[in-house]
Amino acid sequence: MTINEDKHRFVVIIEKEIFEEFKQIAQEKEKRSASNLAAKLISDYVKENK
């Protein structure tokens, strides 16, 4: 998988149970992948805290 030049890979280590719950919420409530939802949440957080 190739990442665009304007993107950056970011690794987060979390408890497996938390990840599984997050993934389920992302899929069922947000209709997104866990990765996509995490990226959106980080982006929103940065915008709100500039």
3-50 per-position pLDDT tens digit:
888 999 999 999 999 999 999 999 999 999 999 999 999 999 999 999
Torsion of CA 10, 14, 18, 22, to 10 degrees: 0
Stated pTM of the model: 0.85
pLDDT at 1 over 90: no
The DSSP call for residue 32 is: S
